[in-house]
Amino acid sequence: MNAILDEIKKNLIEGRVDSEDEGFEEEMIGQPGVTELVQQALDENVPSADILNQALTGGMEEVGRRYESGMYLIPDMLASAECVAKATKILEPHLKSSEIQKQEKFLIATVEDDLHDIGKNIVATILQGSGFEVRDLGTSVSTSKIVEAVKESKAKFLGLSALLTSTMPHMKKVIDLLKKEGIRDQVVVCIGGAPVTDAFASKIGADLYGEDAFDAIDKLAKLSS
């Protein structure tokens, strides 16, 4: 791997967006972070697709492994996801359609009568950092509004979150309305939240249950393979 790609990946894993960030090693402050290094790589004519695939995607894969092993906590992975989001914006004008797969649209919402958004926001950030085009519909979103958004956006993925056992039935209502509207087969429905289980996902006809963002991404990748 090109040396600068290694540096981008290293700084992404450290969660350093720019030179003002410390990372895990305080002595790194003042050194170029991900955004400066991505721009430097472009100036040196490193292919934008290599930056994206080798440095950014490769870096997030390592962050995922560290999180799953317990080495990283939620703030650590959010810092890395922010690096990816900002770096991707720098890369966008340089990426040709032949160099990168089109981002898949991912709608996400907390279901009706549930105002909790911390978990949803974390998942949305990680999904965005992993290459999805995420549209967050917010909290306590009605079943009809969610289904209308699916129809309007033609999104391939729909994520539903619930933190209360009393609001979990709304997930099934969304799936039932998708069926009624004849678009159930057009969208992959992913569900999650503290009280949600794999068994519940199977019971209501969801496509997958994500214990956390990285678990969901792994399962989404398996669906696509």
Q: What is the pLDDT, as a whole number, of residue 169?
A: 97
Domain residues for the domain of 17 are 3-94
CATH number of the domain that 190 lies in? 3.40.50.280
Mean per-residue pLDDT of the chain = 88
**Are 116 and 171 members of one domain?**
yes
**Are 118 and 196 members of one domain?**
yes
Q: Which two tokens stand for residue 95?
A: 């990426």
Given pLDDT bands bounded at 50, 70 and 90, which one contains residue 89? confident
Q: What is the pLDDT, as a whole number, of residue 9?
A: 95
% of the chain surpassing 90 pLDDT:
53
Alpha helices in the chain (DSSP H): 3-14, 34-43, 48-50, 58-68, 74-91, 118-129, 143-153, 169-180, 198-204, 213-224
Q: Which residue has the higher pLDDT, 31 or 147?
A: 147
- Residue 106 pLDDT greater than 80, yes or no: yes
On whether the pTM is more than 0.75, the answer is no
Spatial contact of 162 and 111, defined as CB atoms under 8 Å apart:
yes
**Are 34 and 120 members of one domain?**
no
Q: What is the pLDDT, as a whole number, of residue 97?
A: 45
Closest by CA to 215, choosing from 201, 79, 204, is 201
Q: What is the pLDDT, as a whole number, of residue 120?
A: 86
CB atoms within 10 A of CB 60: 24
Phi/psi of residue 78, each to 5°? -65, -40
- Residue 174 pLDDT greater than 80, yes or no: yes
Whether residue 49 lies inside any domain: the answer is yes
CATH number of the domain that 69 lies in? 1.10.1240.10
What is the Cα–Cα distance from 17 to 72, expressed in whole angstroms?
17
Closest by CA to 172, choosing from 153, 194, 191, is 191
Whether residue 37 lies inside any domain: the answer is yes
Give the three-class secondary structure for 10: helix
